[in-house]
Structure 1
Amino acid sequence: MTNPQEHHFLSSHGDVCYFEWGRAGDGLSVLLLHATGFHARCWDKVVDAFPDGTHVVAVDQLGHGRSARPEIKDWTMIAGATVELVKSLGVTFDVAVGHSMGGHCLVQIAAQLPDQIKKLVLVDPVIVSRETYLNPPDYSASDQMVSRRRNSWTGPDEMFDRFKDRHPYKLWDPAVLQDYCEYGLLPDGEGGFELACPPQTEGSVYATSASVDPYPLIEAIEQPVTILRAPQLAQEGAFDFASSPTPSGLVDCFANGTDVYLPDLTHFMPMQNPKRIAELIISGS
Structure 2
Amino acid sequence: MRLSSHNNIGNAPREGKIVSDGLEIAYLEWESTSEAYENLLVMHPNGFCAGMFDPVVDLLRDQYRVVGVDLRGHGGSQEVLDETVLGNDLMAADVLKVLDALEVDVFSILGVSLGGAIAIEIAASAPERVQGLMLCEAIAMNFETRKERAQFLEQKEHPLAVGARRRRSIWSNRKEVEDSYGSRKPLDALDPLVLKAYIKWGFVDRPDGQVELACNPETEATIFGSRARYGPVSTFERLSDVKAETHILAGTQTDLDKIWFEQQAKEVNTEVNWIDGGHFFLFEDLERTVSLIRSCIG
What secondary structure does 2:123 align onto?
Answer: helix
- CA deviations on 1:212-248 (whole Å, 9 max, x unpaired) are 3123311111110011111255xxxxxx57x868432
2:189 corresponds to 1:176: no
2:151 corresponds to 1:139: no
Give TM-score scaled by structure 2 length: 0.84
Letter in 1 for 2:30: W
258, 264, 289: which one aligns with 1:250: 264
* Aligned-partner Cα distance in 2 for 1:151–1:114: 38
What secondary structure does 1:248 align onto?
Answer: helix
- 2:127 alignment counterpart: 114
* Aligned-partner Cα distance in 1 for 2:202–2:237: 34
- 2:59 alignment counterpart: 49
* Aligned-partner Cα distance in 1 for 2:187–2:259: 18
- 2:112 alignment counterpart: 99
- 1:237 alignment counterpart: none
Give the root-mean-square deviation of aligned CA atoms. Answer: 2.4
- 2:230 alignment counterpart: 211
Q: Residues 190 and 283 of structure 2 are in contact (CA less than 8 Å); yes or no, is this contact kept in structure 1?
A: yes
* Aligned-partner Cα distance in 2 for 1:133–1:84: 32
Letter in 1 for 2:72: L
- 1:33 alignment counterpart: 43
Q: Residues 31 and 61 of structure 2 are in contact (CA less than 8 Å); yes or no, is this contact kept in structure 1?
A: no
Give TM-score scaled by structure 1 length: 0.88
- 1:4 alignment counterpart: 13
* Aligned-partner Cα distance in 1 for 2:26–2:197: 17
- 1:280 alignment counterpart: 292
- 2:71 alignment counterpart: 61
Post-superposition offset of 1:110: 1.0
Deviates more, 1:30-39 or 1:7-16: 7-16
What secondary structure does 2:261 align onto?
Answer: coil
- 1:230 alignment counterpart: 251
- Percent identity, please: 26
* Aligned-partner Cα distance in 2 for 1:71–1:53: 37
* Aligned-partner Cα distance in 2 for 1:258–1:56: 27
Q: When the two structures are aligned, how many residues end up with a matched partner?
A: 276
Unaligned runs of 5+ in 2: 1-9
Q: Residues 30 and 61 of structure 2 are in contact (CA less than 8 Å); yes or no, is this contact kept in structure 1?
A: no
